[in-house]
Structure 1
Amino acid sequence: MAAAVQTENVTVFEGGTAQISCRLQNYDGSIVVIQNPRRQTLFFNGTRALKDERFQMTLFTTRLVSVTLRNVSVSDEGGYFCLLYTDATHHQVAMLSVLVPTDTPAVEVKQEAVEGGESELTCVSPRSKPAATLKWMRNGKEISGTQNGKTFSVSSTIRFPVERKDNGAALSCEAFHPTLDVPKRVRHYRLEVYFAPTVKIVPPTGILREGDSLSLTCSVTGNPLPLNIQWSKINDTLPERAEITGLTFQISRLSQSHNGTYLCQAKNEYGLAADHYTLLHYINHLPTCHPNLHHPNAVVETHSPVPYAVIGGVLALLVFTIICVLIVTIWCSVRQKGSYLTHEASGLDEHGEVQEAFLNGNDASQGKKEYLL
């Protein structure tokens, strides 16, 4: 035997309209009452009993009683009672289920990503029923996260170490829900990693010469990017002709006074970095193949109409020639003096007088040239 009252369960999206119906068997004009899940009477034989304008009696016949509920909310969910009072009380319950589709999830930064530290991101689907399923993706690969919540607010949190190379990494949080008319809702997120600056001075190419212009560029990285770049000269002030334009440092007409080490510094809230460039000035002209000229810094060379090396060579040759001439002169003088010496020893004759030695023989007729030894 069919029941005197029959109902059907109803499922509706939040904000939609639900229709709750009671089918009657062999209705004889008895009293029909519709009650909400809190057992408050909505209608008594078609007459409104609860002042909630969202409920409307749309049909009341001997076979069917129908009530509509507009702008359904989750709080309306539950069992609605259809009661028929005859000799006995008959009732059935129509279950109203409210679905809440998930919106595009939001990404919350729980912990700032700093180089060498850990990043903590939470993907949140604030309202969904049944609970949305959240999934983290990075470069097309899933990242495991910890999901919390079963209804309404659902979140998924990921934690991972970060380096500066992770800056700009593409992450996404995907929300899946059975009520969606599309497979999923996606929130894209670009990871930002903060790190201390790095500084590198880009030197000029080739060898600088006296009178040339020096141009140095300071290459700076960092997040956030340092806004203030400082140029200085170690243990000295910057030259008067120095010009700074953005990241570029220039000196026109180089001279010896510009020798020294120049420093480029950059700073952000995560650290300080610097790089230096040493300018060397060689007075002597050195050949380009000299190993010292392959120093990573520039070398400034002075130029003279006559290379100093040539002058030094000429002077050395001249001194050597003078010394040789002196040696030959002294040697010749000694040889000439020795040619006047005789090997005949002088002594006393038998009378005790000096014996004379004639260099040109014993013949006095050859002249009176005589030299006493």
Structure 2
Amino acid sequence: MTVANVFLSLLFHAGTSGQRVKVEPELASYPGQTVNLRCVCSSSLLLYADLKRAPLQVTWIYEPKDGERMNIAVFHPNFGPNYPESQMKGRVTFKPSPPELSSPSIEISNVRMTDEGRYVCEYATYPDGNEQGITQLVMLAKPLNSATAVTVNAGTQPVVVARCESKDGRPAAKIQWLTTAKGNWTETSQTGTDNTVTVTSEYRLAPTAMDNAKDLTCLVTHRTQLKDESLPLKLAIQYPPVVEIEGYDNNWYVGRTNVGLLCKANANPIPLSVDWKTMTGEMPDTVQIKENELKVLKVDSSVNTTFVCEVKNSIGATREQVTINVREPSKTESNAGVVAGAVIGSLLALLLVAALVTVLVTRSRRQQQGYRANGGSDMKTRIFGGGKKPFTVGARPEVVTGTPTAQDILLSNELDEAERRKFDEMEEDERYDHFAGGGSILQLRPPPNPDDIIGDYMDDDMESQRDGSVISRTAVYV
């Protein structure tokens, strides 16, 4: 082996120890765009081919996901570029033009979804074989997402109640559902002629009236979206009316007025009609009906029946009933009796208050009179004296002890408390002068019986006047 051959062998092995054809591992593009597939050859490979004077050419090969591989562009230094028949012919060219072995990149314009696949930049050397680099072209298509609720009737078997679709996307979208409804979903995908994918997901459950209007959200995840797309829905479950009658309080008695019943219905779609009936077929005369309201003007025995409310919609009809048990009126007084009782009660209360006031006043007066009477005997004793001397004209009065005279009583009653205290504080002579005053002096003639002066005076001498005073028939007024 010559020295030159040894050098070339070492150079070849050194070059093959690393990747000598460099490309981009992946490239993404949207339909209608232009893509550049770059390829760079290392200088070691070019030097080796030059030293060995071996022919060297570059070929771009397309490998679809499904199908046979095909050459789409070829460059030979002596023969120039060539573009074999392929789906890219007319849209693929070398860049720059004319190309160079060191960087035989290509450009594909107006790319299509069917252009997705693997692109191989391959250097062929004779007789040592081929060197290559592979780029994966990923075609992107933003899908059109939509979701719809499927209107169904309530039932016991699972049915499709909602559908979500991610149409014409690339790559295939991912779909999931968010809801409180008790169901599950299935998913299918279909690839179109342009290599786009349509993904369809269906949500299924056994629908009930309680599921109607529940929230349901379709969540679509796709590479072309910055975030997941949320598509909210509300379930549409149709069901016959659910009927309830309100208003009866089990206290409808004869004579009660302004009572009634209200027929409430929950349904989807909305009720078409509300009808009131009775089990006997005859509606009482005191009953008025307005739509879902039944009003009783006055309760009587004819209301003692069973009322039926029937509600219909396009799905079906539902009936509900309530039985009225009319009671006898409670034994309460009439309004006039109540008013009379109230008046009598008020009068009795007033009389009771008046009696209480009278008792208190009488008691107060008795206590006052008793006090004055106790002080009166002392007063009369002080005025008339305490001995039993004969009462003579011109002499100072000497009070005879015993039964007080009417004059004593009058004097004692006319003196108020202040006068009595003032009178008690006087000396005996002062009391007499105070009593006699400066006016006329009452002089008494001796009674026939000196020993019974008080009694004779009270029985024979004293005479009551119309103004309440008492005067003596025998006294001489000076």
TM-score range, shorter chain: 0.5 to 0.7
Secondary structure class of the residue paired with 2:96: strand
2:237 to 193, 210, 228: 193
1:134 to 175, 186, 193: 175
| Counterpart AA for 1:97 | L
Per the TM alignment, residue 268 of structure 1 is displaced from its structure 2 partner at its CA by 3.2
Corresponding residue of 1:215: 260
* Aligned-pair identity (%): 20
- Conservation of the 8 A alpha-carbon contact between 1:136 and 1:142: no
Secondary structure class of the residue paired with 2:317: strand
Unaligned runs of 5+ in 1: 289-302, 307-373
Per the TM alignment, residue 219 of structure 1 is displaced from its structure 2 partner at its CA by 0.7
- The reply on whether 1:22 has 2:22 as its aligned counterpart is no
Whichever structure has more helix as a proportion of its residues is 2
Structure 1 residues 17, 216: CA separation in 2 closer, same or farther (over 3 Å shift)? farther
Corresponding residue of 1:232: 277
Per the TM alignment, residue 274 of structure 1 is displaced from its structure 2 partner at its CA by 1.2
Note the 1:291-330 alignment, pairs <5 A.
none
| Counterpart AA for 2:137 | S
Corresponding residue of 2:391: none
Note the 1:49-60 alignment, pairs <5 A.
55=92, 58-60=95-97
Per the TM alignment, residue 75 of structure 1 is displaced from its structure 2 partner at its CA by 0.8
| Counterpart AA for 1:189 | L
Whole-angstrom CA distance in 2 between matches of 1:231 and 1:176? 54
Structure 1 residues 242, 69: CA separation in 2 closer, same or farther (over 3 Å shift)? farther
Secondary structure class of the residue paired with 2:257: coil
- The reply on whether 1:268 has 2:307 as its aligned counterpart is no
Per the TM alignment, residue 246 of structure 1 is displaced from its structure 2 partner at its CA by 3.7
| Counterpart AA for 2:157 | G
Whichever structure has more strand as a proportion of its residues is 1
- The reply on whether 1:39 has 2:70 as its aligned counterpart is yes
- Conservation of the 8 A alpha-carbon contact between 2:166 and 2:173: yes
Quick check: which has more Rg, 1 or 2?
Answer: 2
Structure 1 residues 189, 228: CA separation in 2 closer, same or farther (over 3 Å shift)? same
Corresponding residue of 1:116: 156
| Counterpart AA for 2:26 | V
CA RMSD of aligned residues (A): 4.7
2:107 to 68, 79, 90: 68
Whole-angstrom CA distance in 1 between matches of 2:246 and 2:253? 15
Secondary structure class of the residue paired with 1:75: helix
Per the TM alignment, residue 218 of structure 1 is displaced from its structure 2 partner at its CA by 0.8
Per the TM alignment, residue 53 of structure 1 is displaced from its structure 2 partner at its CA by 6.2
Unaligned runs of 5+ in 2: 1-11, 64-68, 192-196, 338-478
- Conservation of the 8 A alpha-carbon contact between 2:73 and 2:81: no
- Conservation of the 8 A alpha-carbon contact between 2:253 and 2:329: no
Count of residues in correspondence between the two structures: 289
- Conservation of the 8 A alpha-carbon contact between 1:198 and 1:273: yes
Structure 1 residues 87, 189: CA separation in 2 closer, same or farther (over 3 Å shift)? same
Q: Deviations over 1:255-289 (max 9, x none)?
A: 6556543321112344421122445566x64448x
Note the 1:159-178 alignment, pairs <5 A.
159-177=204-222
Q: Taking CA–CA contacts closer than 8 Å with sequence separation of 6 or more, which of the two structures ends up with the larger relative contact order? A: 1
Whole-angstrom CA distance in 2 between matches of 1:107 and 1:71? 32
Structure 1 residues 274, 181: CA separation in 2 closer, same or farther (over 3 Å shift)? same
